C-alpha cells in the first residue's frame, strides 16, 4: 500500500462514518468478561443472511473454517453420531435431486458414487500445524488494547485513559519502538497530523487509502474482524456493561478502527489470513473409479472441485437430519399416547438447560415427581448487590436490562452470624487487596513471595493431593453463606424492591408460561443451577446462562418467597390461579458438576411439610447419584472422581457443560417423559391449550429459545474452528484480569469455548456441530401466527439458523417450517411441509 502522508479531503461526513462504524461493529459479537461469561453466537452479526451464506462470509472475514475437518466427521460417522443414509440424502440434494444424482458417469458409476467416495473414502487434507501467529500489526493494536482495558492488574496504568482509546494510544505510541518499526518515518508524520477525533480520522483515512465509494463499509468490517476479541470487549462495555465500568476509560469501535486506519496509512497493515480448503482433484477421483477417460467430464469435475468445507457441510446436514428424524418419530408416537396424569408427591421446576433433563429423568424414576422446565432466572429481571461485593450481579438473560435491584440481608434470627460472616469477608477482601498490591510492588514482590509462599504452597498441595479434603475444609471454614444471608424482599425496614402487583405478575408468569396447573402439589421446588470448578477461567460458563452466567439459586429463592406470600396468593386467585393453601414453595440449586442439590431456607418450611421435604431430599440425593454415574461414563471416569474434579485446581474438564446440545422442545413433560433425550435437549414446559393468543409461545420462542440458539451456535462454531471461533487449548491460556483469556502472552482476546469443553483428550469431537432443532407441540396455525409477527423468529427459522418442527396435538403429525429459500418468490408464503 502506497503511504499517504498528505491529508485527503473526507468524502463522508462525521455522522455517515458513525453509521458505517455502527454497522461494522456488528461483525464482532459482544464478548462478556469471564466473571459473567455467557454464550454468544460468534456470527450474531451475520444472522440477517441465510446460514450457509453467513458461514461463508464470516469464514472470509475471520479467516476461519466453514466446517469441522472431514477426518473428524468420518470419526463421528464411525461412532454412530450420524447415519450414512442421511449422508446419502444430503448428497443427493446437493447434486440436484435423484435424477441428477444417479446420472451415470461410467459403467454403473453414478455421480452420487463419486460424491460418496469423496465423503467417505478419498484421502483428506492433513490438519494444519495450528493457528498462524498474529501478524505484527494486529499484535501491536492488541498490545495497546490490553494496556488500555487493563482492570487494575498493571502496576503502572496507561496514562490518559480518560481521553478514550484512540487519543490515549496516539499520545503513547510516539515512544513505542514497535510503532516506529511498523510505520517508519511516515508514522511519525501521521502522528502529528491525523485528526484527534476518531470519526474524523476515519473520514480522512478512508479516502487517503483510496477506498472507493460504497466499499467503506466492507473495509471497516474487515478491520473489525481482525481482532474480534477486543472488538467484542468494546461492544460488551458499550452495550451491556453498567456505565461506571467504562466511564473512566471510554472506547468505541471508532477508536479501534481509527487505530487500524492509522497503521494502514503508515503502510503497516498485512493482508488478512485466508484458510484454504482443498478440492479433491479430478485425477484422483477419476483414478479411484478407473475412469481416466472421464477426467474432463464437467459432471465429475464439479464434484472434484468441492472443497473439504463443502463436504463437511453435507456431514453437518446429515447429522441434523439423523437427529431430527429420530427425535420427531419418537415425539410423534408420544404425542398420541398420553398417559393419564398422576397426583404427584411434589412438583419441581428446573431450568431449561440441557443438563436438567437427565437429572429430571433420574428424579422421576425415584417416585411420583412431576417436573417442569422454565427459564432459569424464573422470570425475574433483577440485579443482586451481594454482601461484600463492589458491583451488582445481573441475574437475568442479557436480552433484558435489570428492572429491580435487590440487596442481601441477614436471614431473620441469624443476624449475629451474618455480622460475623460480613466481618470475615471484609477481612479476606482487605487481605487479598493487600496481597495484590504487595505482589506488584517492585520493592515488595520477593518479600511477599517469601512470606506467603509456604501457606500458598500448602493450599496448592491440598488442592492437588487431597482436593476432596480441601473442599470439605473450605465448606467448614465458610459456614453456609446462604444460611445466614438471603436476597432482601423488604419488610425488615428496607425499601421493597417489588410492588405487590409486580410480584403477582412474576408468579403468574410461572403458571402461564409453563402450564404448571393451579392444583399444585404440597411441595413445589424451584430449582436453579450452577457449576463447581476451581482455578477455572470458564467457571461461569458452567453456571446458568439465563442468570447472566451466574448460579440461579438466588432467583429461585426470590420467586419461592414471593409465591409463599399470602397477598400474592390472593392476587393470583383474583387472576384465576387459586393455589391450594397446603402448597409450600421451596428453592433449591442443582450443582451440575457434582449433581448435588442444595435446598435453601429449610428452616422456614412449615412443620407440616418437613416429612415431605425429607423424602424429597432423599430422592434428590439418589437421583444425583444416578445422574453422576451416567455423566461419569461420558467423561470416562468414576462418579467419585467427579466430586474430586470439582475441587481440583488442575482440573481442565470438570463436566461436559452443554456439549451435545441439539434441540429445544416446547411442550408438556408427558411428551418427552418416556424418551431418553441424552442431555441434549432444552426442555421448556408449555400448554398450547392455555395459550390461545400465543403470548406464552411468543415469549418462549423469542427469549429462552434465542438464548438456546446462542448457546447452540457457540458450541457449533467453537467446534468447527476452535482456533478462530473458540479459545483453543486451556493449558496454554493466560487470563487477562477480569476481561478474558489470551493464548500465550499476548494477542487478541479469545472468544468462544476452550478445546477441552468440546473435544475428548484424543481430539475426537464430543460435541457434534449441528444447528438447533426446535420442536413445538401446538397446532401449526397457532405457531405460524407467532412466528409471522416476530421478526427474530422469521429470521431464525426462515434463514436456516434453527429448524422448526411443529407437532400437531390432535394427529401427532410432525410438520417442518419451510425456509424462505424453499418458497418461490411469487408463491404464497406457505411454510408448512413434511419433515
Partner 1 sequence: MTIAAFGDLRLHRLKKIEIVVLAEDHALVEDLLKAAGVGGWTMIRDVAGMGHSGFHQGKTIFNDQSGLVMFVGVAEDGIIAGVARGLARLFERRPGVTFLSDVEVMRSDYFGPAAT
Interaction site with partner 1 (CB under 8 A): 13-23, 48, 197, 199, 217, 238-239, 252, 375, 379, 397, 399-401, 509, 698-699, 702-704, 706, 788-792
Rounded to a whole number of angstroms, the minimum distance from the CB of residue 512 to partner 1 is 10
Q: Pick the closer one to partner 1 by CB: 399 or 451.
A: 399
Q: Between helices 356-364 and 610-635, what is the axis angle to 10°?
A: 130
- CB nearer to partner 1: give 475 or 789: 789
> Is the Cβ of residue 253 or residue 303 nearer to partner 1 in the bound state?
253
Least distance to partner 1 from the beta carbon of 790, Å? 5
Side-chain-side CA neighbours of residue 67 (13 Å): 23
Question: How many Å apart are CA 498 and CA 562, to the nearest integer?
Answer: 10
15 or 432: CB nearest partner 1: 15
- Neighbouring residues of 547: CB distance < 8 A, sequence distance ≥ 6: 376, 377, 395, 396, 397, 528, 555
Helix axes 70-78, 308-335, angle to 10 degrees: 30
| Residue number with CB closer to partner 1 (33 or 252) | 252
Q: Please report, for the chain, how many H helices and E strands are present, in that order.
A: 31, 19
Are 468 and 647 a contacting pair, CB within 8 Å? yes
- The residue to which cell 462525521 is assigned: 14
- Residue 203 or 540: the one with the smaller Cβ distance to partner 1 is 203
Q: Smaller CB distance to partner 1: residue 18 or 208? A: 18
Q: Which residue from 391, 573, 425, 421 is spatially nearest to 485, judged by alpha carbons?
A: 421
CB 389 within 8 A of CB 428: no
Determine how many CB atoms are found less than 10 A away from the CB of residue 788. Answer: 12
- In angstroms, give the least distance from the CB of 300 to partner 1: 40
- Report angle CA 161, 166, 170 to the nearest 5 degrees: 90
Tell me the C-alpha distance between 675 and 323, whole Å: 13
Q: What is the helix (H) or strand (E) element at residue 667, kind and residue range? A: none
Q: Of 260, 229, 25, give the one whose Cα is nearest residue 137.
A: 260
Which of 402, 394, 341, 398 lies closest to 369 in space, CA to CA? Answer: 341
Question: How near is the Cβ of 638 to partner 1 at its closest, in Å?
Answer: 40
| Closest approach of partner 1 to the CB of residue 23, in Å | 6
Q: How many angstroms separate the CA atoms of 146 and 165, rounded?
A: 11
Q: Which is nearer to partner 1, 552 or 754 (CB)?
A: 552
Angle 693-672-86 from CA coordinates, rounded to 5°: 100
Count of Cβ atoms closer than 10 Å to residue 127 Cβ:
10
Residue 724 CA to residue 62 CA, distance in Å, equals 7
Identity of the residue, 158 or 256, whose beta carbon is nearer to partner 1 in the bound complex: 256
For cell 484422483, what's the residue? 284
Contacts of 760-765 with CB under 8 Å at 24 or more apart are 760/636, 764/72, 764/75, 764/76, 764/79, 765/68, 765/72, 765/75, 765/76, 765/719
CB of 15 to partner 1, least distance (A): 4
- 511 grid coordinates: 403458571
| Shortest distance in whole angstroms from residue 742 CB to partner 1 | 27
In whole angstroms, how close is the CB of 399 to partner 1 at the nearest point?
Answer: 4
The 8-class DSSP code of residue 520 comes to -
**Distance separating alpha carbons of residues 311 and 94, to the nearest angstrom:** 10
Q: Nearest to residue 27, comparing CAs of 43, 51, 48?
A: 43
Q: Which ranges of 63-135 does DSSP label H, i.e. alpha helix?
A: 70-78, 84-94, 98-101, 111-120
Least separation in angstroms between residue 426's CB and partner 1 is: 36
Instruction: Select from 115, 122, 121 the least CA-distant residue to 100.
Output: 115
Report the nearest approach of partner 1 to the CB of residue 238 (Å): 7
Nearer to partner 1, 464 or 830 (CB): 830
Beta carbons of 63 and 272 less than 8 angstroms apart:
yes
Q: Report, in Å, the least distance between residue 235 CB and partner 1.
A: 9
Any idea what the Cα angle at residue 628 is, between residues 622 and 632, rounded to 5°?
155
* Contact (Cβ atoms closer than 8 angstroms) between residue 674 and residue 560: no
Sign of CA dihedral 259, 265, 269, 272: positive
CB of 171 to partner 1, least distance (A): 19
User: Of 73 and 374, which has the nearer Cβ to partner 1?
Assistant: 374
- Cα-based angle 350, 492, 388 (whole degrees, multiple of 5): 70
**CB 13, min distance to partner 1, A:** 5
Of 303 and 787, which CB lies nearer to partner 1 in the complex structure? Answer: 787
CB of 405 to partner 1, least distance (A): 17
How near is the Cβ of 247 to partner 1 at its closest, in Å?
15
Question: Quick one: 42 or 280, whose CB is closer to partner 1?
Answer: 42
Please give the distance of CA 564 from its chain centroid, rounded to a whole number: 33
**Cα–Cα dist 559/526, whole Å:** 8
Considering the complex, state which of residue 75 and residue 404 has its C-beta at the smaller distance from partner 1: 404
Q: How far is the CB of 180 from partner 1 (least distance, A)?
A: 32
Q: Least CB distance from residue 716 to partner 1, whole Å?
A: 21
* Residue 202: CB minimum distance to partner 1, A: 11
For partner 1, the closer of residues 212 and 341 by Cβ is 212
Between 199 and 623, CB nearer to partner 1:
199
d(CA 37, CA 536): 12
Q: Which is nearer to partner 1, 186 or 238 (CB)?
A: 238
Nearer to partner 1, 604 or 790 (CB): 790
C-alpha angle 710/715/716, rounded to 5°? 95
Amino acid at each position: 500500500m502506497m503511504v499517504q502522508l498528505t491529508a485527503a479531503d473526507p468524502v463522508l461526513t462525521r455522522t455517515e462514518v458513525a453509521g458505517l462504524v455502527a454497522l461494522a461493529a456488528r461483525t464482532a459479537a459482544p464478548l462478556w468478561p469471564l466473571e459473567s461469561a455467557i454464550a454468544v453466537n460468534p456470527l450474531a452479526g451475520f444472522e440477517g443472511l441465510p446460514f450457509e451464506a453467513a458461514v461463508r462470509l464470516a469464514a472470509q472475514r475471520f479467516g476461519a473454517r466453514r466446517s469441522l475437518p472431514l477426518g473428524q466427521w468420518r470419526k463421528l460417522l464411525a461412532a454412530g453420531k450420524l447415519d450414512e443414509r442421511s449422508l446419502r440424502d444430503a448428497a443427493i440434494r446437493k447434486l440436484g435431486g435423484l435424477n441428477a444424482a444417479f446420472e451415470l458417469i461410467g459403467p454403473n458409476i453414478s455421480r452420487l458414487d463419486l460424491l460418496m467416495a469423496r465423503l467417505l473414502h478419498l484421502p483428506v487434507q492433513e490438519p494444519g500445524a495450528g493457528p498462524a501467529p498474529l501478524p505484527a500489526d494486529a499484535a501491536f493494536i492488541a498490545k495497546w488494547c490490553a494496556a488500555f482495558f487493563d482492570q487494575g492488574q498493571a502496576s503502572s496504568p496507561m496514562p490518559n485513559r480518560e481521553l478514550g482509546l484512540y487519543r490515549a494510544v496516539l499520545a503513547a505510541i510516539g515512544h513505542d519502538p514497535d510503532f516506529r518499526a511498523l510505520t517508519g518515518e511516515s508514522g511519525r508524520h501521521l502522528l502529528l497530523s491525523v485528526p484527534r477525533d476518531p470519526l474524523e480520522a476515519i473520514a480522512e483515512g478512508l479516502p487517503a487509502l483510496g477506498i472507493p465509494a460504497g466499499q467503506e463499509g466492507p473495509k471497516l468490517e474487515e478491520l473489525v474482524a481482525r481482532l474480534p476479541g477486543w472488538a467484542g470487549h468494546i461492544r460488551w462495555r458499550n452495550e451491556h456493561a453498567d456505565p461506571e465500568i467504562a466511564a473512566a476509560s471510554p472506547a468505541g469501535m471508532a477508536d479501534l478502527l481509527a487505530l487500524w486506519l492509522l497503521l494502514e496509512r503508515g503502510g503497516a497493515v498485512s493482508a488478512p489470513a485466508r484458510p484454504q480448503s482443498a478440492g479433491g482433484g479430478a485425477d484422483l477421483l477419476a483414478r479411484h473409479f478407473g475412469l481416466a477417460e472421464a477426467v474432463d467430464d464437467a459432471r465429475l469435475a464439479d464434484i472434484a472441485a468441492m472443497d473439504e468445507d463443502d463436504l463437511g457441510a453435507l456431514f453437518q446436514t446429515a447429522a441434523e437430519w439423523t437427529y431430527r428424524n429420530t427425535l420427531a418419530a419418537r415425539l410423534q408416537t408420544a404425542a398420541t399416547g398420553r398417559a393419564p396424569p398422576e397426583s404427584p408427591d411434589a412438583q419441581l421446576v428446573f431450568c431449561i438447560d440441557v443438563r436438567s433433563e437427565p437429572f429430571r429423568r433420574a428424579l422421576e424414576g425415584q417416585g411420583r415427581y412431576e417436573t417442569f422446565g422454565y427459564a432459569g432466572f424464573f422470570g425475574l429481571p433483577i440485579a443482586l448487590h451481594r454482601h461484600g461485593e463492589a458491583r451488582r450481579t445481573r441475574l437475568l438473560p442479557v436480552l433484558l436490562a435489570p428492572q429491580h435491584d435487590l440487596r442481601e440481608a441477614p436471614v431473620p434470627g441469624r443476624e449475629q452470624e451474618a455480622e460475623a460472616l460480613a466481618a470475615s469477608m471484609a477481612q479476606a477482601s482487605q487481605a487479598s487487596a493487600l496481597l495484590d498490591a504487595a505482589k506488584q510492588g517492585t520493592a515488595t514482590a520477593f518479600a511477599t513471595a517469601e512470606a506467603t509462599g509456604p501457606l500458598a504452597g500448602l493450599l496448592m498441595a491440598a488442592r492437588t493431593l487431597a482436593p476432596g479434603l480441601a473442599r470439605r475444609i473450605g465448606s467448614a471454614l465458610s459456614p453456609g453463606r446462604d444460611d445466614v444471608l438471603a436476597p432482601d424482599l423488604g419488610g425488615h425496614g428496607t425499601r421493597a424492591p417489588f410492588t405487590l402487583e409486580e410480584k403477582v405478575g412474576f408468579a403468574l408468569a410461572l403458571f402461564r408460561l409453563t402450564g404448571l396447573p393451579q392444583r399444585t402439589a404440597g411441595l413445589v421446588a424451584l430449582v436453579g443451577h450452577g457449576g463447581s470448578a476451581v482455578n477455572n477461567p470458564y467457571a461461569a460458563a458452567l453456571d446458568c446462562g439465563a442468570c447472566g452466567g451466574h448460579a440461579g439459586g438466588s432467583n429461585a429463592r426470590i420467586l419461592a418467597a414471593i409465591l409463599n406470600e399470602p397477598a400474592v396468593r390472593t392476587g393470583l386467585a383474583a387472576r384465576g390461579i387459586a393455589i391450594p393453601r397446603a402448597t409450600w414453595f421451596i428453592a433449591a440449586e442443582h450443582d451440575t458438576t457434582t449433581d448435588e442439590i442444595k435446598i435453601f431456607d429449610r428452616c422456614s418450611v412449615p412443620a407440616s411439610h418437613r416429612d415431605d421435604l425429607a423424602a424429597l431430599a432423599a430422592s434428590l440425593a439418589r437421583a444425583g447419584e444416578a445422574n453422576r454415574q451416567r455423566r461419569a461414563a461420558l467423561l470416562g471416569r468414576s462418579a467419585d472422581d467427579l466430586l474430586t474434579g470439582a475441587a481440583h485446581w488442575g482440573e481442565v474438564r470438570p463436566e461436559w457443560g452443554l456439549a451435545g446440545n441439539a434441540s429445544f422442545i416446547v411442550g408438556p413433560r408427558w411428551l418427552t417423559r418416556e424418551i431418553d433425550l441424552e442431555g441434549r435437549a432444552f426442555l421448556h414446559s408449555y400448554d398450547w391449550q392455555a395459550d390461545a393468543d400465543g403470548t406464552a409461545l411468543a415469549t418462549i420462542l423469542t427469549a429462552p429459545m434465542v438464548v438456546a440458539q446462542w448457546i447452540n451456535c457457540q458450541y457449533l462454531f467453537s467446534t468447527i474452528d476452535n482456533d478462530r471461533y473458540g479459545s483453543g487449548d486451556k493449558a496454554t491460556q493466560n487470563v487477562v484480569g477480569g476481561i478474558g483469556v489470551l493464548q500465550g502472552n499476548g494477542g487478541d482476546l479469545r472468544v468462544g469455548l476452550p478445546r477441552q469443553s468440546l473435544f475428548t483428550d484424543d481430539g475426537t469431537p464430543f460435541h457434534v456441530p449441528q444447528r438447533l432443532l426446535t420442536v413445538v407441540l401446538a397446532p401449526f396455525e397457532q405457531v405460524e401466527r407467532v412466528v409471522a409477527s416476530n421478526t427474530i423468529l422469521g429470521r431464525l427459522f426462515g434463514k436456516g439458523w434453527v429448524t422448526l418442527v411443529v407437532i400437531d396435538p390432535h394427529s401427532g403429525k410432525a410438520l417442518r417450517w419451510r425456509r424462505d429459500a424453499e418458497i418461490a418468490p411469487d408463491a404464497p408464503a406457505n411454510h408448512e411441509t413434511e419433515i
